[in-house]
Structures are given as structure tokens and as C-alpha cells.
């Protein structure tokens, strides 16, 4: 396997030697490209067909259509279907782009320029100009991302057409407008040819996240959550921006095709073992990028916005906070992987942050009762896995996990959404039970089961394979404490299985019982009536007052859930296409800039990777070098994680299904007192929010008050003084003009006397 990974660059180099063209290169590459070793196995881009620009353009069309629908006060579900149409079109174009790309030699890339954006120069020297086109860079990594982003966006828009139907006529158009803007921004982010277009998309998705989380703007919790998400994103964006600036300062360009050849010398240096040769300015760039990634992808310490973001409508949670926006951080690192490979500390930091976040979020998820929150923490945890994957040089594993996670997490969120929609906003797992057996909820139950199996890593599901790749690789690659990371990830896998099936066994199976949530309303009821229902339900347990009936999902929701569940299953099959490279996804990743070509030599001094010359002796070293309890991780990990998954599911089964008669309690409650205060701490999210509040928010608020006082007293005071002074002076002088003639006469005489004195004195 190692040999195959290493032969790819040489294969590609020979193939793309023919693609390297002199002269006309649309991104302005230097002639150094010719003759010099092709960078990192990445080919010089060729000019791509312009119809690829439809991928970001169609969502803009959808945005305009939704805006017109809002202007003309359309009262039907039309904006939703228009959106679905535009996004389906974008998906079609993405498929076409992939077909086009796969028609070319492996490892090739395309650049599609929409228009020239910036072309500034402020001097004649080399570093004194800045050029950025609004262009798109299509390689296999881009295609992978765009396929699932547009596909999921289409499906979720279809789901949202029914889910948001309560708001038709009021906020419906606004929702879909923001939805379209989001897809456009994500397309810019993923398809951008340079860091500036990526940043445009980055900010755009942050903005749309704010708009969509705060969709229910009349609800203070939602507004606060939107602000929190945006502000924490901004902190990350600061890091990213600094990274972009540093890239420009160091390399003079921010465009990927121009950047990779410039990074190549450092890669060569690291391959040869001289990690210290890489200057600080270069190794600092990935550290700054990772701050941005942590903000966007909700890792420690910037993850607290994601659970709060569940205040937004469920389709938003599914699309943005499960499948697309939060993977932008992973994408950033994968895309700029060459820079990460030459920095000594970047990848280990990413790995450790990811691992700790994964474990932390899993422990919090175990103690929550709100099923959407549990899924949110699960997302944070799985994102930690993806970052670990990148850190252990399994960018293929990370990307595959992104891919599978997008499908099954979207499925899970949409099922939770269906439950919420049908039970009047009820999300507490202590108040719902046996939903899958209720009439009309069968498909939801099956989809939820499929999603849970994937998340828990049940053998032969897609989630199993993808998680496996990452955990196995973490035992193989040598890096600071990477073995420990592997154990942490394994433990987290067990916890994940537990809390996932806790949700499933509590909410979807077991005795049928439900309580409507706060938003329960029949169309002719008012809210006061709904609150009475709650009281009734509390007393009667699982018979319910006749007024509330759960609202089983309709066609659109069931259809989407079915498709997504199916897709989650099929995604497992992608593992088996092209097993040489860990599946179809692996192949996509290896032919792009996210390829690991053994250049992170600092991660293992002896063996795995430093041999860019690809010899078989590496395999023997490889097996002995990274091992899991003395066995080869790649072979053994399937069984180990399978066992861990079973243990988790088994624990959930025992504690939350066996012998459970009501919705509210289970065997777990009897065990909880044994653990002391720990469950309570976990339920309060380890008080991280409170910590941030005390350490960051409170001092800032005090500072704000101080500044306010300074502003009021000093600044306003100075301005007021400028007004008061003339008044004081005037008050003194005004009495001189009292209209008394003699006073004026005295003044004249006095003045005359002074003049005479002056003349006499001066003439002496």
C-alpha cells in the first residue's frame, strides 16, 4: 500500500510531463514549471470549460428567484421548488464536471476563470503586485466536495420545502434565499482558484449560517445563537486572514497553481530530512490556517457555537452544521496540505486538538437530553475524527469520513427534524418513545436506524470503513503521541456508539409514548390551549388528551430520508471501488493537492514515508513500525472497532431498552448516582460556556463599561468643554455691555489712556 501511494507521484509526473505547457498558462505560472519536477504530483492546470461556472451561478439564480418571490409576495411553495431545481441543476453540472475531469489523465486539474478580479501593482519590484482572478480550480478533491455539497443541498431543499411549510407567506422566501446564498458561498469556497475566492466563500457561509440560525428572529435564543456562531467564526477568520496575508508576503501569490511550485522546494527539504530548513514564516502559515479551520469546523476552543446553532431550523442544521459548512475547515487543510506538510508542528497540533475535541464532545453528548444537541455534539466529535485523519497523514480517510458523515449525519438530523416537526417541537428524549412503531413513521425509523448504525461504526457500514481508516492510520503513522490519539479515538468510538443508540433506543423503539412540545398547535388552537396539553400529558403519562396528534411526515420528507438512507448505505460501496487507494474517495484525494507523498518526514524519522523512492523494504519496516498491540493495524482495526462498537451498542441496549416501561426513565437513571457529580458536569457541558463567559465575556463587558465611561466623561467631556468655555468667558465679559453710557465712556477713556501710554513708552 505504501509503495502504491508512493508510485502515484512518479506516475503522475510522467503523465503530466506531457501536459506541462510552455507559454500560455492562464494563471500566469513561471517558466520554472517547465523542466522542473512537477510539484507534488499536481499538474499544471489546463483551461476548463466555462459551463463549470454554472455550479456557483445556478444558486445565485435561485437566490434571485427567491428574492423576486419575496417581492411579489408569493404565497405558495414555489421558491422551494425553484431552489430545488437550481440546486439540482448545479448538481448535474458538478457531475458533468467530474465526468470531464475523469476524462483527463489522473492528477490533472482545470482552471475556469470567470473574470479578473484584482490586478494591482504599486511598484516595479517583484513583490509589489497582487493579482487574483475570480476563478475556479477543479481537481478531484473539488469534485468530491462539490458532488456531495450540491447533492445534499438539493435533497435538503426538498425536505425543507415541506418542513418549513408552516412559514409559507412569512419567512419562506427568506429561508430559501439564504439557502441559495449559502450554496453559492460554499461553491466559491470549495472551487476557488485562490485563497481570496476561498475567503469570500468562507465569509459567505458564515454569513448565511448567521442568517439561517437566526431565521426565527423573534426568538431571543435563536438570535443569541446566531450572533455567537458568527462571532466565534470571526475569531477563526482572523487566523485565516493572517495566514492568507503571510502567504502573500512570503510567496507573492495566493493562487494555488502558482503556490504549489513555490512550496515544492520546502517539501523536498523536508523529504530529505531537513525540517529545520523551513523558515518560520512558512511554517507559521498552516498554524494560522488551522485557527480558521477550528473556528469554522467547531473544534476546541471554538466549538461552543455549534450546539447553540441548533436553534435554527433543522434543514439548516442538517446542511450547514453537519455536512457542508463545518467541513470547510477540513477542506481548507486538505487543499493547503502541502503547506501543512512542511510545518513541523502544524499537523500534530491539528491531530491533538481533533482528538481531545472528539472525546470531549462525546462525553458531553452522552449526558444531553435534547436529541438535536446530541447530534450537534456528535458532529463536533466526528469533525475531530476528520482533523485527526488529516493529522495522521490519512487525508483520504479524512475526506472519506467527511463524505460518509455528510450523508449519515444529514439523515440523522433530518430524522430528528421530522420528529420535532411531528411532535410539536418536542426534542427531549425523556418525553418520546417508540416513535418508529407509530403509524406513518416507519421510514423515519428505518432511516434513523441506518444513520445510527453508520455513526456508531457498525461493521460494514460506510461510517465503519471511514472511521476505521483514520483510527488504523493513527497507529501506523509515527508522530508525537499518535498512538495515544488512536486509543482516544477508539474510546470515543465506543462512546459514540453508546450515545447514538441511547437516542435510538429511547426515542424510536420501546413503549409508545409521547408528549407534544411547546410548539404544538392544531391550526385552530391558540397557545394557551397547548400549554394545558402539557399539563394533561404530565399527569396521564402516555395516554394523551385528544387534542394533539403527532403529525407524521409527508411525501417530501419521507422521500428525502429514504434517498439519504440509501445513499449512506451506498457510500460504503465507495470503499470497494479502487481498493488500492482506499476506495473511490481515496483515489479522488490522492490525485489532488491533498495527497500525502511521504514528505512529512518529521513525523517519522525512520521508515514510513521518508522513502520517496518507493521500495518494498518499506513494508516490512512499516508493519513493525506502527503497530497496535503488536499487530498490524490495517488488518486488525476492522475487528477492534467492530468490537468497540458492539460494546457501545450493547451498553445502550442494556441501559436504555431492556426493561424500559416509560419514556422518562431507564436503567441508566439507577446507575447515575454511582458516578457522582460527573454526569451533572457533563450535562452542563463541562461548564465551558460558563468558563468563556467568566474569562472572556465578562472582562470584555467590564472593559466596555470602562470605555463607555471614558467616552462619556473624557471624549464627550472635552467636546462639552469646548462648548462651556466660551459660555464662561462670555458670562464674564457680557456685563460690560450693560447699556450704561458712562461705562462706555469710561471704556473709551481708558483705552485712550492705554494708547497714549503705549506711544510714550515706545518712543522712549
Partner 1 sequence: MTFGLANLANAAGSTLAQAGFPEPMSTPALAHYLFLSAVLFVIGMVGFVTRRNLIIMFLCTELMFQAAGLALIAFSRFHLHHTGQTFVIFVLTIAAAEAALALALVVLLFRKKDSLSGEEWREMQG
Residues in contact with partner 1 by the rule CB under 8 A: 734, 737-742, 745-746, 749
Extract the C-alpha cell encoding 67. Answer: 428574492
Rounded to a whole number of angstroms, the minimum distance from the CB of residue 743 to partner 1 is 10
Task: Compare residues 126 and 738 and give the one whose CB is closer to partner 1.
Answer: 738
Report the residue count for the chain. Answer: 764
How far apart are CB 764 and partner 1 at their closest, in Å? 18
CB of 722 to partner 1, least distance (A): 23
Nearer to partner 1, 717 or 750 (CB): 750
Q: How far is the CB of 734 from partner 1 (least distance, A)?
A: 6
Nearest partner of 696 among 147, 243, 231, judged by Cα: 231
Which of 124/732 has CB closer to partner 1?
732
- Minimum distance of partner 1 from residue 754's CB (angstroms): 14
Burial of 635 (0-12, 13-18, 19+ CB in 10 A): exposed
- Helices marked H in 252-370 — which ranges? 256-271, 280-296, 305-308, 314-318, 328-335, 337-341, 346-366
Of the pair 630, 739, the CB lying nearest partner 1 is at 739
Nearer to partner 1, 694 or 752 (CB): 752
What string of DSSP letters covers 705-720? HHHHHHIIIIIHHHHH
Indicate the residue among 687 and 744 with the shorter CB distance to partner 1: 744
- Nearer of residues 719 and 746 to partner 1, judged by Cβ: 746
- Smallest gap from Cβ 745 to partner 1, in A, equals 5
Three-state DSSP state, 187: helix
Radius of gyration of the chain (CA): 31
Q: In this structure, are residues 191 and 67 in contact, taking their beta carbons and an 8 Å threshold?
A: no
DSSP codes joined into one string, 513-541: EE---TT---TT--HHHHHHHHHHHHHHT
Residue 17, number of CB atoms within 10 A of its CB: 13
Which residue bears the cell 469570500? Answer: 200
In angstroms, give the least distance from the CB of 757 to partner 1: 15
Q: How far apart (Å, rounded) are the C-alpha atoms in residues 392 and 478?
A: 8
Cα separation, 729 vs 352, whole angstroms: 69
Residue 726 beta carbon to partner 1: minimum distance, rounded to whole angstroms = 15
Rounded distance, CA 608 to CA 622, Å? 6
Judged by beta carbon, residue 72 or residue 744, the one nearer partner 1 is 744
CA distances (Å), origin 465, targets 161, 553, 761:
33, 31, 106
- DSSP H or E segment with residue 117: strand 110-121
Q: How far is the CB of 715 from partner 1 (least distance, A)?
A: 33
Q: Which is nearer to partner 1, 570 or 756 (CB)?
A: 756
Closest CB to partner 1 among residues 678, 749 = 749
| Nearest approach, Cβ of residue 750 and partner 1 (Å) | 10
Nearest-angstrom CA–CA distance, 660 and 141: 47
Residues 6+ apart with CB under 8 A from 261: 29, 30, 32, 33, 36, 39
- Residues 212, 320 contacting (CB under 8 angstroms): yes
The nearest distance, CB 727 to partner 1, in angstroms, is 14
Q: Which is nearer to partner 1, 700 or 752 (CB)?
A: 752
d(CA 235, CA 256): 24
Could you tell me if 497 and 643 are in contact, meaning their C-beta atoms sit under 8 angstroms apart?
Answer: no
| Of residues 723 and 739, the one with the C-beta less far from partner 1 | 739
Q: Which residues, other chains included, contact 571 with Cβ-Cβ below 8 Å and sequence gap of 6+?
A: 403, 404, 407, 462
Contact (Cβ atoms closer than 8 angstroms) between residue 424 and residue 548:
yes
Contact call for residues 93 and 106 (beta carbons, < 8 A): no
Q: What is the DSSP letter of 319?
A: I
Q: Pick the closer one to partner 1 by CB: 218 or 734.
A: 734
Q: How far is the CB of 758 from partner 1 (least distance, A)?
A: 18
Q: How far is the CB of 723 from partner 1 (least distance, A)?
A: 20
Q: How far is the CB of 705 from partner 1 (least distance, A)?
A: 44
Whether 220 contacts 232, CB under 8 Å: no
The grid coordinates of residue 283 equal 511554517
The C-alpha atoms of residue 213 and residue 225 are separated, in whole angstroms, by 7
- Cell numbers describing residue 459: 461493521
CA angle 469, 368, 698 (to 5 degrees): 100
Task: Give CA separation, 160 vs 223, 318, 417, 486, in Å.
Answer: 21, 10, 10, 38
Q: Which of 123/739 has CB closer to partner 1? A: 739
Backbone angles phi, psi at 130, to 5 degrees: -135, 125
Shortest Cβ 756–partner 1 spacing (Å): 11
Least Å distance between CB 720 and partner 1? 24
Nearer to partner 1, 738 or 763 (CB): 738
| Minimal distance, residue 749 CB to partner 1, in Å | 6
Q: Is 686 left (phi over 0), alpha (psi -120 to 50) or beta?
A: left
What strands lie across the sheet with 129-138, from one edge to the other?
A: 46-47, 110-121, 129-138
Q: Which of 709/749 has CB closer to partner 1?
A: 749
Contacts of 165 (CB under 8 A, 6+ apart): 77, 172
How remote is the C-alpha of 463 from its chain's centroid? 19
CB nearer to partner 1: give 650 or 750. Answer: 750
Amino acid at each position: 500500500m505504501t509503495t502504491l501511494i508512493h508510485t502515484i507521484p512518479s506516475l503522475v509526473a510522467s503523465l503530466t510531463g506531457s501536459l506541462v505547457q510552455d507559454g500560455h498558462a492562464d494563471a500566469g505560472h513561471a517558466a520554472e514549471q517547465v523542466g522542473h519536477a512537477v510539484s507534488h504530483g499536481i499538474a499544471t492546470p489546463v483551461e476548463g470549460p466555462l459551463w463549470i461556472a454554472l455550479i456557483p451561478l445556478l444558486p445565485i439564480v435561485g437566490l434571485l428567484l427567491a428574492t423576486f418571490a419575496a417581492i411579489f409576495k408569493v404565497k405558495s411553495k414555489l421558491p422551494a421548488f425553484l431552489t430545488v431545481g437550481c440546486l439540482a441543476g448545479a448538481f448535474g453540472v458538478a457531475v458533468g464536471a467530474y465526468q470531464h475531469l475523469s476524462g483527463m489523465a489522473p492528477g490533472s486539474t482545470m482552471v475556469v476563470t470567470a473574470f479578473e478580479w484584482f490586478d494591482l501593482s504599486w511598484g516595479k519590484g517583484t513583490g509589489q503586485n497582487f493579482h487574483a482572478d475570480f476563478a475556479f480550480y477543479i481537481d478531484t478533491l473539488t469534485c468530491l466536495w462539490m458532488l456531495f455539497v450540491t447533492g445534499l443541498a438539493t435533497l435538503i431543499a426538498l425536505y425543507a420545502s415541506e418542513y418549513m411549510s408552516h412559514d409559507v407567506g412569512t419567512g419562506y422566501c427568506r429561508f430559501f434565499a439564504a439557502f441559495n446564498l449559502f450554496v453559492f458561498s460554499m461553491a466559491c469556497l470549495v472551487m476557488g482558484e485562490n485563497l481570496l475566492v476561498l475567503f469570500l466563500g468562507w465569509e459567505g457561509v458564515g454569513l448565511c449560517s448567521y442568517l439561517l440560525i437566526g431565521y426565527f428572529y423573534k426568538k431571543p435564543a435563536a438570535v443569541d445563537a446566531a450572533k455567537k456562531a458568527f462571532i466565534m467564526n470571526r475569531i477563526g477568520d482572523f487566523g485565516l486572514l493572517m495566514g492568507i496575508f503571510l502567504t502573500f508576503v512570503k510567496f507573492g501569490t495566493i493562487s494555488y497553481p502558482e503556490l504549489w511550485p513555490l512550496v515544492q522546494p520546502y517539501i523536498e527539504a523536508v523529504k530529505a530530512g531537513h525540517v529545520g530548513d523551513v523558515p518560520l514564516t512558512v511554517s507559521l502559515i498552516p498554524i494560522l490556517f488551522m485557527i480558521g479551520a477550528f473556528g469554522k469546523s467547531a473544534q476546541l476552543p471554538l466549538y461552543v457555537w455549534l450546539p447553540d446553532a441548533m436553534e435554527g431550523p433543522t434543514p439548516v442544521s442538517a446542511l450547514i452544521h453537519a455536512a457542508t459548512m463545518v467541513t470547510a475547515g477540513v477542506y481548507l487543510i486538505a487543499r493547503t496540505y502541502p503547506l501543512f506538510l512542511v510545518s513541523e508542528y502544524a499537523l500534530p497540533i491539528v491531530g491533538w486538538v481533533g482528538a481531545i475535541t472528539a472525546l470531549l464532545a462525546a462525553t458531553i453528548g452522552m449526558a444531553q437530553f435534547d436529541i438535536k444537541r446530541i447530534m450537534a455534539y456528535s458532529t463536533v466529535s466526528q469533525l475531530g475524527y476528520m482533523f485527526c485523519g488529516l493529522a495522521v497523514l490519512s487525508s483520504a480517510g479524512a475526506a472519506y469520513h467527511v463524505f460518509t458523515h455528510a450523508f449519515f449525519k444529514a439523515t440523522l438530523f433530518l430524522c430528528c427534524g421530522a420528529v420535532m416537526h411531528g411532535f410539536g417541537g418536542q426534542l427531549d428524549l425523556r418525553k418520546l418513545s417508540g416513535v418508529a412503531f407509530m403509524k406513518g413513521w416507519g421510514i423515519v425509523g428505518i432511516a434513523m436506524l441506518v444513520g445510527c448504525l453508520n455513526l456508531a461504526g457498525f461493521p460494514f457500514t460506510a461510517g465503519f470503513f471511514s472511521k476505521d481508516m483514520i483510527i488504523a492510520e493513527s497507529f501506523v503513522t509515527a508522530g508525537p503521541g499518535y498512538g495515544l490519539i488512536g486509543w482516544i479515538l477508539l474510546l470515543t468510538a465506543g462512546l459514540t456508539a453508546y450515545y447514538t443508540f441511547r437516542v435510538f433506543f429511547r426515542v424510536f423503539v420501546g413503549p409508545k409514548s409521547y408528549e407534544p412540545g411547546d410548539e404544538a398547535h392544531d391550526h385552530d388552537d391558540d397557545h394557551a390551549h397547548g400549554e394545558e396539553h402539557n399539563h394533561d400529558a404530565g399527569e396521564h403519562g402516555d395516554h394523551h388528551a385528544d387534542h394533539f396528534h403527532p403529525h407524521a411526515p409527508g411525501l417530501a420528507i419521507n422521500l428525502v430520508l429514504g434517498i439519504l438512507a440509501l445513499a449512506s448505505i451506498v457510500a460504503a460501496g465507495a470503499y470497494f471501488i479502487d481498493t488500492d487507494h482506499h476506495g473511490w474517495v481515496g483515489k479522488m484525494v490522492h490525485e489532488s493537492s491533498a495527497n500525502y507523498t511521504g514528505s512529512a518526514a518529521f513525523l517519522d524519522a525512520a521508515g514510513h514515508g521518508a522513502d520517496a523512492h518507493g521500495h518494498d523494504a518499506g513494508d516490512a519496516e512499516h508493519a513493525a513500525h506502527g503497530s497496535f498491540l503488536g499487530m498490524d493495524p490495517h488488518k486488525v482495526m476492522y475487528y477492534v472497532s467492530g468490537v468497540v462498537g458492539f460494546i457501545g451498542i450493547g451498553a445502550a441496549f442494556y441501559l436504555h431498552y431492556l426493561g424500559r416501561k416509560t419514556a422518562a426513565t431507564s436503567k441508566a437513571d439507577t446507575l447515575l448516582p454511582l458516578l457522582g457529580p460527573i454526569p451533572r458536569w457533563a450535562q452542563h457541558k463541562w461548564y465551558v460556556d460558563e468558563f468563556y463567559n467568566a474569562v472572556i465575556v465578562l472582562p470584555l463587558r467590564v472593559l466596555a463599561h470602562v470605555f463607555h465611561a471614558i467616552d462619556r466623561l473624557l471624549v464627550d467631556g472635552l467636546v462639552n468643554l469646548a462648548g462651556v468655555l466660551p459660555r464662561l468667558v462670555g458670562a464674564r465679559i457680557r456685563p460690560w455691555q450693560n447699556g450704561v453710557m458712562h461705562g462706555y465712556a469710561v471704556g473709551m477713556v481708558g483705552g485712550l489712556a492705554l494708547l497714549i501710554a503705549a506711544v510714550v513708552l515706545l518712543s522712549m
